[in-house]
């Protein structure tokens, strides 16, 4: 358990957590929880782009060892894999749970059930944190569950593990609740975002979201055991044929966020889901592509974080049909 009491406990005692949960749930009646602003009434079973209504869809809960070392540690990260998504990546490795809406319907949970599962991850499995994976469309339900979990004894740091296609208004409601943002920086081109993830404004939205996250939690802070307690980690998945815009994205990060920001450079791309039918995305990255990004990290002076070893492609493919942790790890520290 984290040595320092997370700030969400003070927010709970002050009644602020309850106020935020109510404000967020009210917004579901004309949903603007993520940047798509569908305007559907999710309280009355209205479905927007994410195919999700009033209740959170929780596809898998497990102790997860496949995250960065500061997140997984020795006891695992308490992963809560939400179902459905507000993006539609053609290469999504989690497509079994993110894009098969019918299969996810049976996995809806009330807030108190999610709260009890978080306590299970903390007390029974001894995880280092609670790691909400793909939470952007379930921010109200996440805060409702935390509100229920605090009086039950939840004290772990909370990780918001996101594609970064997040609304600033929703992120502001998470200030003081989330300790660690684990944020993707996927594209530097909206053309790629539109073509491969059905998002027309990814670049400006994700960049604004990452700046907001950084303003809330700042640089990564770890405890005596090297486990993250607070801060931002930016993940960058290298795509073949420079489709991730690594040069543009990482340069932006250094200049507009901070050269001290912690990065996680990922080489694990695999043409999952529909990607094998798209020529530009139908292969793993090459050694030359990997070296180019590794060199760039060096040139830009990014010293904090990790670069995933080459050859990780395929090793990270999860199977959400099986029990337990669907993944496994291989990373090297930057310095
Ligand atoms: S959370 Fe879902 S319904 Fe709400 S705006 Fe985003 S995609 Fe639309």
Torsion-angle region of 129 (φ positive above 0: left; ψ -120 to 50: alpha; else: beta): beta
In the chain, the percentage of residues whose pLDDT exceeds 90 is: 84
Nearest ligand 1 atom to the CA of 34 is 6
Q: Is the CB of 51 under 6 A from ligand 1?
A: no
Contact call for residues 118 and 130 (beta carbons, < 8 A): yes
Nearest-5° angle of CA 138, CA 141, CA 143?
Answer: 110
Question: What is the residue-level pLDDT of the chain in tens, covering all 335 positions?
Answer: 445 799 999 999 999 999 999 999 999 999 999 999 999 999 999 999 999 999 999 999 999 999 999 999 999 999 999 999 999 999 998 888 888 777 778 899 999 999 999 999 999 999 999 999 999 999 999 999 999 999 999 999 999 999 999 999 999 999 999 999 999 999 999 999 999 999 999 999 999 999 999 999 999 999 999 999 999 999 999 999 999 999 999 999 999 999 999 999 999 999 988 889 999 999 999 999 999 999 999 999 999 999 988 766 655 556 656 666 666 544 455 55
Question: What's the confidence (pLDDT) of residue 73?
Answer: 96
Q: Indicate the top mutation candidate among 47, 51, 52, 142 to test ligand 1's pocket, ranked by most ligand atoms within 8 A of CB.
A: 52
Could you give the CA distance from residue 132 to residue 174 in angstroms, rounded to a whole number?
A: 13
Residue 1 token pair: 């358990």
Contact call for residues 146 and 17 (beta carbons, < 8 A): yes
CB atoms near residue 307 (< 10 Å): 22
- Of 161, 109, 172, nearest to 134 by C-alpha is 161
The pTM is what? 0.94
Could you give the CA distance from residue 64 to residue 77 in angstroms, rounded to a whole number?
A: 5
Could you give the CA distance from residue 269 to residue 14 in angstroms, rounded to a whole number?
A: 44
Nearest ligand 1 atom to the CA of 49 is 7
**How many angstroms separate the alpha carbon of residue 103 from the centre of ligand 1?**
19
260 DSSP assignment: T
Q: Residues with Cβ < 8 Å from 224, sequence gap 6 or more?
A: 3
CA distances from 334 to 10, 153, 190, 210, 265 (A): 35, 36, 29, 21, 9
Radius of gyration of the chain (CA): 19
Bridge-based pairing state of the strands 305-308 and 331-333: antiparallel
Q: Is the CB of 214 under 6 A from ligand 1?
A: no
DSSP string of 140-151, one letter each residue: HHHHHHHHHHTT
Nearest ligand 1 atom to the CA of 86 is 7
Q: Is the CB of 205 under 6 A from ligand 1?
A: no
Nearest ligand 1 atom to the CA of 137 is 1
Contact call for residues 189 and 203 (beta carbons, < 8 A): yes
Residue 281 token pair: 């995305």
Q: Is the CB of 31 under 6 A from ligand 1?
A: yes
Could you give the CA distance from residue 43 to residue 280 in angstroms, rounded to a whole number?
A: 40
**How many angstroms separate the alpha carbon of residue 312 from the centre of ligand 1?**
33
Contact call for residues 289 and 25 (beta carbons, < 8 A): no
């Amino acid at each position: 358990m984290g040595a320092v009491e997370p700030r969400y406990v003070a927010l709970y005692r002050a009644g602020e957590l309850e106020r935020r949960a109510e404000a967020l749930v009210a917004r579901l009646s004309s949903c603007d929880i993520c940047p798509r602003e569908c305007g559907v009434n999710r309280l009355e079973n209205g479905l927007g782009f994410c195919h999700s209504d009033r209740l959170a869809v929780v596809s898998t809960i497990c102790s997860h060892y496949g995250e960065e070392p500061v997140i997984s540690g020795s006891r695992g990260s308490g992963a809560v894999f939400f179902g459905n998504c507000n993006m539609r990546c053609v290469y999504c490795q989690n497509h079994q749970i993110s894009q098969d809406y019918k299969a996810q319907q049976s996995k809806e949970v009330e807030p108190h059930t999610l709260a009890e599962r978080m306590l299970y991850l903390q007390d029974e499995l001894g995880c280092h944190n609670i790691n909400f994976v793909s939470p952007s469309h379930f921010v109200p339900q996440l805060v409702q569950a935390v509100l229920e979990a605090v009086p039950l004894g939840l004290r772990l740091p909370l990780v918001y593990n996101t594609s970064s296609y997040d609304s600033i208004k929703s992120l502001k409601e998470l200030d003081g609740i989330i300790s660690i943002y684990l944020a993707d920086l996927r594209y530097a081109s909206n053309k790629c975002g539109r073509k491969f993830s059905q998002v027309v404004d990814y670049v400006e939205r994700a960049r604004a979201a990452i700046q907001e996250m950084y303003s809330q939690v700042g640089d990564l802070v770890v405890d005596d055991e090297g486990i993250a307690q607070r801060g931002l980690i930016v993940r960058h998945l290298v795509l073949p044929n420079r489709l991730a815009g690594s040069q543009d994205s990482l340069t932006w990060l250094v200049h507009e966020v901070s050269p001290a920001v912690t990065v996680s450079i990922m080489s694990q791309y695999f043409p999952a889901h529909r990607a094998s039918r798209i020529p530009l995305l139908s292969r793993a990255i090459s050694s030359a592509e990997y070296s180019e990004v590794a060199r760039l990290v060096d040139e830009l002076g990014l010293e904090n974080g990790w670069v995933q070893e080459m050859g990780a492609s395929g090793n990270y493919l999860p199977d959400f049909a099986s029990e337990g942790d669907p993944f496994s790890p291989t990373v090297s520290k930057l310095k």
